[in-house]
């Protein structure tokens, strides 16, 4: 904006440049203060309003100019004019002297536009009109008109300088100043000239108004661009995206953003005057960046994103500096100006990405890529001794159950604890990593002995099998480990990993919680396992699985009260396969849930055709139990078959209590709401705890066959264990079922010890659904049939032996033999209780007693048990041979 000379602010030329510099200084001072910029804008908008209608505060300066002009005119007139002329002249000067008062009145907030126009009339139009009137009267009194016109022109020039850019006020005052002559010489021509002048001045005013508007709009546009640039630069600094710096020609800092100074632990004033290199850390590793920066400064060349480490006292901070040389209008070098950006977070992100590429983000252990690289580096060593190492592959047992029951956050927390225990177990002996999921790998460099590796593997299993605390709950898992040695089991990484995987599969097939070394025959086992898995999938899809039912007998009345559903699979090539063969494969392959649901539906459908008094027990795996939909699945199976819920008994193993949590209790309550019975299967063989018997709503405890078998042998403690279980069940109002009863002696014992139910081959073997349906159509009475006691496994054969009875030597045929007895064919009239000597070969004789005799066959029991060789054959013990020889000589 331009101002008059009286204001001390030049309007054009160099004065305009000074005004522009002043504005830049104001904006620079307010760069980091948005309110300051807004104030500048408001001030400039206010000044624009002044240009339109407001009086200048310096309007009083016109008084002195008028008085001087009147005084000079009086000298030229050589006297004073009339009182009328003097009065008009003094009145004009007096009104101009009140200009500051009029300006103050106009600037009051409550003053209306009408009042402001009146003030303009009093402060500009009227004084100018009085000045013109005075000069016109003075001309009439004898003042040369040339002098009067010149004086009036000077007065208008002064007014033009004072009322710059106030178009309305200026031209109104000019017209008013010449109107006095019209009053003095009231002639038509005079009025016509005055009107023509007014029209001309109005046209000029309009043109000037438009030009002023264009200048104002252009200026506002430039101001907006400047303000936008300032806002962008301010945001660039305030948001931490970067900062600015400037140096002089000597390389000394003349400006640095406060944010950058703050990062260095200083103020801007403390850094100004120091070399630019002072903000760079001279620590080792940063010399290259410092040399690069010094080179550009000395060469006066532009540089872009030079990465330097900031000379901070605390955390490490990295900057990227960009700068360019600055020259004045004479091409003289003035210094450098540029900006910097903070690379700290970017470098940390890059380091994090690099870490994620080589380390597991959850456990902090090395990941699959890093472990593979470490193994390849060992196997690529130049000497054979350095290439020796051992690889241990770990897989967590029952981890999926934890994940399914407690959720993924708990699973992640468990993996972290596993990693910590694994690192403590390995120590400095090797390196451990997580491959993904619940699979871990350990690399032990150097030539390792198998006993040492076995000891290490057992320590790992023991450490990982200890209880874990997750969200206030106790969780127990296990671990299976496969071990392979290099170069014995593979010279390349791929070969070694493939073989250690086979060893891990062997460990899992062995019952989990164990370790296995790689062996050549594992390839065939792995192929067989993969083939069985595919065959099992096909069998499920085709419906080739079958349910067999084994009766459960009420011991007191020997009546059939229920069945246990047992899954069977008649493989098209391998024949009947034991559940212990294909059930673990189904669990690992994720097929057990489908098989369990099929077993539930089939058992309920078969049970619907039995008498209502007959129950059926169905096994539920731990993986099925972890499925929150299990109560709904059971309820749907019962609804479709129309079977009462109380007839269905779900057999659950102790493994469901490994994760003692609220979900387990919730599942039990949900199943009991359905109305089914619950039986604890294989009690005493797993992680037995009397605590869960107190909480879990079981209706029955099933005593595992491992306690029943051998219970009748002398010195066995199994009978005491059975008695304790039955007493506990009776106190808790639960039934008991003894499983695997196969002899009459075992049946008598479990009855004597208080078992309420019996299940085993002593009554019935598992049978197809058709046979079970036929069986329950009868009187449901069962009779025990089987051997009196357990006998050792027998080997069938046809072999000629010599038998001596009552000093008569007879040749007979040995049909089968065991460690304790044999069956011989070809003897007549040998009563039970007779003593025989059996000669297997010259010098190999055994003494035996006849236990039964039927036609030409007799069953004998050796006085002393035979010894089974590794190849399966039997040999007579030396003491027995000596006793037989003495008897023969006698």
Tens digit of pLDDT for each residue in 716-739? Answer: 888 888 998 899 889 888 999 999
The distance from CA 526 to its chain's CA centroid, rounded to whole angstroms, is 35
Residue with tokens 């107190």: 694
Provide mean pLDDT across the span 70-82.
Answer: 85
The pLDDT tens digits for 659-708 are 556 778 888 899 999 999 999 987 766 555 566 677 778 999 999 888 88
CA distance 175 to 195: 9
CA distance 444 to 566: 45
- Does residue 747 surpass a pLDDT of 80? yes
> H-type helices in 246-300, by residue range?
258-263, 268-271, 287-299
- The β-bridge partners of 473 are 470
The answer to whether 102 touches 58, Cβ cutoff 8 Å, is no
Q: What is the mean pLDDT of the chain?
A: 81
Provide mean pLDDT across the span 739-767.
Answer: 91
Tell me what pLDDT residue 34 has.
Answer: 40
The pLDDT tens digits for 309-330 are 888 877 778 888 899 999 988 8
285 vs 494, more confident: 494
698: closest CA among 720, 725, 659? 725
Tell me what pLDDT residue 20 has.
Answer: 40
- Exposure string over 838-855, b if 16+ CB within 10 A, otherwise e: bbbeeeebbbbebeebee
525 vs 502, more confident: 502
Tell me what pLDDT residue 682 has.
Answer: 79
The pLDDT tens digits for 137-160 are 888 888 888 888 888 888 888 877
Tell me what pLDDT residue 146 has.
Answer: 83
The answer to whether 661 touches 405, Cβ cutoff 8 Å, is yes
The pLDDT tens digits for 448-477 are 899 999 999 999 999 999 988 887 788 888
CA distance 419 to 402: 16
* Three-class SS state of 281: coil
Structure tokens given for 416: 């972290």
Tell me what pLDDT residue 406 has.
Answer: 76
Tell me what pLDDT residue 640 has.
Answer: 94
Please give the model's pTM, rounded to 2 decimal places: 0.49
Tell me what pLDDT residue 89 has.
Answer: 85
- The β-bridge partners of 180 are none
- Does residue 441 surpass a pLDDT of 60? yes
- Does residue 878 surpass a pLDDT of 50? no
The pLDDT tens digits for 512-542 are 789 999 988 777 777 888 888 899 999 999 9
Provide mean pLDDT across the span 339-344.
Answer: 84
Tell me what pLDDT residue 21 has.
Answer: 43
289 vs 372, more confident: 372
Contacts of 574 (CB under 8 A, 6+ apart): none
184 vs 534, more confident: 534
What's phi and psi for 813, nearest 5 deg?
-110, 125
Residue with tokens 């009093």: 122
CA distance 254 to 338: 12
Q: Which of 234-238, 439-443, 457-461 has the lowest mean pLDDT?
A: 234-238
CA distance 454 to 776: 54
- Does residue 43 surpass a pLDDT of 70? no
Provide mean pLDDT across the span 273-302.
Answer: 77
The pLDDT tens digits for 541-577 are 998 999 999 999 999 999 999 999 999 999 988 888 8
CA distance 392 to 482: 6
CA distance 127 to 91: 7
Tell me what pLDDT residue 183 has.
Answer: 66
Helices 61-77 and 83-97, packing angle to 10 deg: 160
Provide mean pLDDT across the span 244-256.
Answer: 90
Contacts of 75 (CB under 8 A, 6+ apart): none
Structure tokens given for 798: 């046809």
DSSP 373: H
Tell me what pLDDT residue 39 has.
Answer: 42
Tell me what pLDDT residue 871 has.
Answer: 57
The answer to whether 309 touches 280, Cβ cutoff 8 Å, is yes
Residue with tokens 């101001």: 223
Helix (H) or strand (E) run with residue 19 in it = helix 14-29
């Amino acid at each position: 904006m331009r101002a008059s000379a009286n204001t001390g602010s030049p309007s054009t030329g160099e004065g305009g440049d000074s005004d522009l510099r002043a504005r830049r200084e104001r904006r620079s001072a307010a760069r980091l203060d948005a309110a300051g910029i807004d104030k500048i804008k408001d001030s400039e908008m206010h000044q624009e309003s002044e240009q339109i209608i407001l009086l200048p505060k310096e309007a009083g300066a016109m008084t002195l100019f008028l008085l001087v002009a009147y005084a000079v005119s009086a000298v030229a007139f050589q006297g004073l004019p009339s009182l009328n002329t003097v009065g008009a002249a003094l009145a004009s000067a007096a009104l101009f002297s009140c200009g500051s008062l009029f300006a103050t009145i106009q600037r009051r907030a409550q003053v209306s536009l009408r009042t402001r126009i009146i003030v303009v009339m009093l402060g500009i139009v009227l004084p100018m009109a009085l000045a013109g009137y005075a000069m016109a009267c003075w001309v009439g009194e004898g003042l040369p008109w040339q002098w009067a016109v010149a004086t009036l022109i000077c007065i208008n020039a002064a007014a033009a300088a004072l009322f710059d850019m106030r178009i309305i006020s200026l031209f109104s005052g000019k017209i008013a100043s010449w109107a006095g002559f019209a009053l003095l010489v009231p002639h038509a021509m005079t009025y016509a000239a005055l009107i023509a002048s007014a029209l001309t001045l109005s046209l000029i005013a309009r043109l000037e108004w438009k030009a002023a508007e264009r200048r104002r709009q252009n200026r506002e546009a430039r101001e907006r661009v400047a303000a936008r640039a300032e806002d962008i630069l301010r945001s660039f600094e305030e948001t931490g995206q970067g900062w600015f710096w400037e140096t002089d020609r000597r390389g000394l800092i003349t400006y640095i953003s406060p944010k950058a100074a703050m990062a260095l632990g200083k103020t801007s004033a403390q850094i100004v005057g120091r070399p630019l290199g002072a903000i760079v850390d001279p620590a080792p590793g940063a010399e290259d960046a410092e040399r690069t920066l010094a080179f550009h400064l000395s060469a006066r060349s532009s540089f872009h994103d030079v990465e330097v480490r900031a000379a901070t006292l605390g955390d490490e901070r990295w900057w990227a500096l960009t700068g360019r040389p600055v020259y004045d209008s004479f091409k003289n070098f003035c210094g450098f100006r540029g900006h910097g950006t903070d690379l700290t977070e970017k470098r940390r992100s890059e380091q994090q990405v690099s870490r994620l590429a080589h380390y597991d983000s959850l456990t902090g252990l090395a990941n699959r890529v890093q472990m593979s690289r470490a193994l390849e580096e060992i196997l690529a060593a130049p000497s054979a001794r350095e290439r020796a190492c051992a690889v241990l592959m770990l897989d967590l047992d029952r981890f999926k159950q934890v994940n399914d029951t407690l959720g993924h956050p708990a699973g992640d927390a468990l993996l972290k604890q596993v990693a910590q225990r694994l690192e403590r177990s390995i120590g400095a002996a090797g390196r451990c990593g997580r491959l993904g999921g619940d699979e871990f790998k350990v690399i032990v460099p150097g030539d390792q002995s198998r006993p040492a590796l076995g000891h290490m593997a057992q320590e790992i299993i023991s450490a990982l099998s200890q209880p874990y605390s997750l969200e206030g709950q106790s969780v127990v898992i296990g671990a299976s480990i496969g071990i392979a040695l290099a170069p014995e089991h593979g010279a390349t990484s791929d070969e070694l990993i493939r073989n250690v995987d086979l060893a891990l599969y062997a460990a899992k097939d062995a019952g989990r919680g164990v370790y296995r070394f790689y062996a050549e025959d594992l390839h065939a086992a792995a192929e067989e396992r993969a083939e069985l898995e595919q065959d099992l999938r096909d069998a499920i899809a085709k419906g080739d699985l079958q349910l067999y039912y084994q009766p459960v007998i009420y011991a007191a009345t020997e009546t059939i009260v229920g069945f246990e559903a047992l899954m069977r699979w008649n493989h098209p090539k391998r024949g009947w396969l034991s559940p212990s063969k294909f059930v673990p494969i189904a669990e690992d392959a994720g097929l057990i849930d489908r098989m369990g649901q099929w077993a539930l539906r089939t058992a309920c459908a078969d049970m619907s055709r039995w008498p209502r008094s007959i129950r059926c027990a169905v096994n539920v795996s731990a993986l099925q139990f972890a499925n929150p939909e299990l109560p709904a699945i059971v309820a749907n199976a019962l609804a479709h078959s129309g079977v009462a819920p109380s007839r269905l008994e779900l057999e659950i193993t102790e493994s469901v209590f490994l994760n003692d949590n609220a979900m387990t209790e919730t599942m039990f309550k949900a199943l009991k709401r359905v109305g089914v019975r619950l039986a604890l299967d294989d009690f005493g063989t797993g992680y037995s705890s009397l605590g869960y018997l107190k909480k879990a709503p079981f209706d029955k405890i099933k005593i595992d066959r491992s306690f029943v078998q051998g219970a009748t042998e002398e010195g066995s403690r199994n009978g005491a264990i059975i008695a304790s279980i039955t007493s506990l069940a009776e106190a808790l109002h639960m039934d008991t079922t003894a499983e695997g009863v196969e002899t009459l002696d075992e049946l008598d014992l479990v009855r004597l010890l208080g078992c309420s139910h019996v299940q085993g081959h002593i009554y019935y073997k598992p049978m197809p659904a058709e046979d079970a349906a036929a069986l329950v159509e009868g009187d449901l009475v069962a009779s025990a049939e089987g051997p009196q006691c357990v006998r050792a496994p027998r080997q069938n054969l046809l072999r000629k032996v010599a038998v001596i009875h009552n000093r008569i030597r007879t040749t007979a045929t040995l049909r089968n033999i065991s460690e304790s007895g044999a069956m011989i064919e070809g003897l007549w009239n040998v009563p039970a209780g007779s003593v025989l000597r059996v000669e297997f070969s010259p010098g190999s004789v055994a003494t035996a007693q006849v236990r039964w005799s039927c036609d030409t066959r007799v069953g004998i029991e050796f006085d002393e048990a035979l010894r089974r060789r590794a190849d399966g054959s039997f040999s007579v013990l030396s003491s027995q041979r000596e006793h037989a020889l003495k008897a023969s000589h006698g």
